[in-house]
Amino acid sequence: MFRFLSKSLAASLVLAGAAVLAAPPRAWRQEVVVAGSPFQGVHGLVVDGKGRLLASNLLGQTVHSVDLKTGAVSTLVGPPLGGADDVTLGPDGSVYWTGYFTGQLMRRSPDGRTRVIARGLPGLNSLAFRGDGRLYATQLGAADVLWEVDPNGKKPPRKVIDGPGFLNGFEFGPDDKLYGPLLLKGQIARIDVDTGGIEPVAQGFAMPTAVNFDARREHLYVVDAARGELVRVRLPSGDKEVVTTLPTGLDNLAVGPDDQVYVSNMVDNDIRVVNPAGGSVRVLVEARLSVPSGIAVAPDDPDERVYVADVYALRQVGGLDGKIHQTDRVLSSPTNFPMNVSVSALHVVRSTSYLGGHSSVQVLERATGKLLRTLPNANGVQGVVELADGTLILAEGATGRLVRVDTAEPAVTTVLAEGLEGPVGLAADTDATEPGVYVTEVRSGKVTRVRLSDGARRTVARGLKGPEGIARHPDGGLFVAEVGRKQLVRIDPATGRSTVVASKLRIGLPESAPFPPGYLPTGVAVGRSGTVYLTSDIESALYRFVPEP
């Protein structure tokens, strides 16, 4: 049984200070801070008529099957082929899904064979079959196009409409017209795919992301991601009725034959079931984190709150009790898609390498969470460190550079070092005689120290396999997530000697284009007690490693 680290033990370790941590402990006790989830953000849904719900998992690169009675989740298609933003079923029972980042439309036939039926469509998002068996899919973000795609992949896709207004999760009605949300217009539209004609059905939504017809195929259910609303739209009038209000971040929905509405929430990484007759809600699949990546712990925090860059939210998790204290969510706030985070005395800095118009670095006031600065950067920013004067050091995974960003408005960026092979994690070493930063290079397998005064580099350790997250420990060691070997290691920065702290860890999803090296980084942070925290992208969990006396 895993045990939580008590506050009394944490306090004793802090008070003992260097006397306790002068030498590295010989053993570490692994504990669960936040238990895992089967998803890494859940998106498209479809009921298969066999008591199961198919659910797409874009960042986890998986298509799942969910038992509608028990909520048990199994994997239908695993990584890397299963990277799905939306999923549907064909007339013959084949499963089809869209790869938003890969630009591929995939098909898994009933005999279990998986193949690509269309490619070269970045931003491929939603799809649905018309009653006559014709298949349609949209590009969203990278382009704004509705396509007809050959379900067998023998003919090239045919462009139906260019620029409909970011058509998202759609469905065909009994009139063979396509009904779906236009994100740029905040409306639900009806589209004639034969003529290209578009007419509004209902308006006044904040961010409608998907629609489905009810079981009798008379009216539409709509999810509004920004407001967290499930809305019933009556046809043909277009009158709207809020069925229930859920947490923001709703992504998609599916309606069962009994008219129960299954709703996915990518921010909370869960699936809920709504009974539209009375608006009651129950959780079918529950989660507490979505895609935990980079993490940070303030060295002056006795409670060891862990800031978690959870991709769809920035969360604070109690390192000692596992409670989630605060959530800053995408879609309903100006939050970017945080993949890395660092904490200074006054600020929290989050960065993202998400490639979809959201790549940026954001500086928050630590005491209030107020957003102070947003710095666009399309170079795949991974690790970030704030220096005492407010200067930022960024690791650009796509360019192989460390860059310095000053506090001026507009900010001035200068190159500190270049030629790094996949820089991912950063750890400050600013109290040294010659201040510097440690950086992990996921491609070369090195930990490198870069001097802040002139960018001079020194190799600290080599021969690692896929090093990502890194943090300095009070005992002087560097703790690194060696993702390629599924282990957490301690590195002596003076000798480069590496010691395994824990192995056979569930870390390291396969990289996915077009993300820079490191994909979803495995985060490492250290609390003032000497406890080491680590994220699991595969399990969507947060762990800690407590030094044994």
Say whether the peptide bond before residue 236 is cis (omega within 30 degrees of 0).
yes
Cα–Cα distance for residue pair 454/342, rounded to 1 Å: 23
Say whether the peptide bond before residue 156 is cis (omega within 30 degrees of 0).
no
Given this model, what pLDDT does residue 358 score?
66
Contact 261/252 with Cβ under 8 angstroms? no
Neighbours of 239 (CB within 10 A): 11
Kindly state the tokens that stand for 404: 């310095």
- Which single residue is written with the structure tokens 């440690």? 438
Q: Hey, which residues does 182 pair with through a beta bridge?
A: 167, 187
Cα–Cα distance for residue pair 288/297, rounded to 1 Å: 19
Rounded (5°) CA angle 531-536-540 = 120
Contact 219/173 with Cβ under 8 angstroms? no
Q: pLDDT tens digit string along 111-156? A: 999 999 999 999 999 999 999 999 999 999 889 999 999 999 999 9
Given this model, what pLDDT does residue 3 score?
34
Residue 17 has pLDDT above 70, yes or no: no
Cα–Cα distance for residue pair 169/127, rounded to 1 Å: 7
Kindly state the tokens that stand for 75: 């994997």
Say whether the peptide bond before residue 80 is cis (omega within 30 degrees of 0).
yes
Burial 48-70 (b: 16+ CB within 10 A, else e): eeeebbbbbbbbbbbbbbbebee
Residue 11 has pLDDT above 50, yes or no: no
Question: Which amino acid is residue 188, in one-letter code?
Answer: I
Residues in CB range of 148: below 8 A, 6 or more apart: 134, 135, 136, 157, 158, 160, 193
Q: Which CATH number describes the domain made up of 21-36+289-547?
A: 2.120.10.30
Cα–Cα distance for residue pair 169/171, rounded to 1 Å: 7
Given this model, what pLDDT does residue 357 score?
56
Given this model, what pLDDT does residue 12 score?
37
CA atoms within 13 A on the CB side of 470: 36
Question: Which amino acid is residue 36, in one-letter code?
Answer: G
Contact 348/308 with Cβ under 8 angstroms? no
Smallest Cα–Cα separation from 70: which of 95, 55, 51?
Answer: 51
> End-to-end distance of the chain based on CA atoms, in angstroms?
19
Given this model, what pLDDT does residue 23 score?
59
Element (H, E) at 415: strand 413-417
Q: pLDDT tens digit string along 211-264? A: 999 999 999 999 999 999 999 999 999 999 999 999 999 999 999 988 999 999
Worst-scoring range by mean pLDDT, 227-236, 326-335, 455-464, 466-475? 326-335
Residues in CB range of 529: below 8 A, 6 or more apart: 5, 9, 10, 11, 13, 14, 304
Q: pLDDT tens digit string along 89-116? A: 999 999 999 999 889 999 999 999 999 9
Rounded (5°) CA angle 227-229-235 = 125
Cα–Cα distance for residue pair 297/341, rounded to 1 Å: 10
Query: What's 45-285's CATH class?
Result: mainly beta
Burial 208-220 (b: 16+ CB within 10 A, else e): bbbbbbeeeeebb
- Mean pLDDT of the 68-94 span: 94
Smallest Cα–Cα separation from 537: which of 47, 106, 62, 30?
Answer: 62
Q: Hey, which residues does 305 pair with through a beta bridge?
A: 318
Q: What is the residue extent of each domain of the chain?
A: 21-36+289-547, 45-285
Worst-scoring range by mean pLDDT, 159-163, 366-370, 423-427, 516-520? 516-520
- Which single residue is written with the structure tokens 């931003």? 123
Give the chain's mean pLDDT: 92
Q: pLDDT tens digit string along 397-455? A: 999 999 999 999 899 999 999 999 999 999 999 988 999 999 999 999 999 999 999 99
Residue 6 has pLDDT above 60, yes or no: no
Q: pLDDT tens digit string along 275-333? A: 999 889 999 999 999 999 999 999 889 899 999 999 999 999 999 899 998 889 998 88
Plot region of 339 (φ>0 → left; ψ -120 to 50 → alpha; else → beta): alpha
> Is residue 177 very low, low, confident or very high in pLDDT (cuts 50, 70, 90)?
very high
Burial 365-399 (b: 16+ CB within 10 A, else e): ebeeeebebebebebbbbbbbbbeeeebbbbbbbb
Residue 354 has pLDDT above 90, yes or no: no
High-pLDDT (> 90) share of the chain, %? 83
Q: pLDDT tens digit string along 536-547? A: 999 999 999 998
Q: What are phi and psi of 371, to 5 degrees?
A: -75, 120
Contact 179/173 with Cβ under 8 angstroms? yes
Q: Hey, which residues does 210 pair with through a beta bridge?
A: 169, 223
Given this model, what pLDDT does residue 9 score?
35
Residues in CB range of 539: below 8 A, 6 or more apart: 36, 37, 506
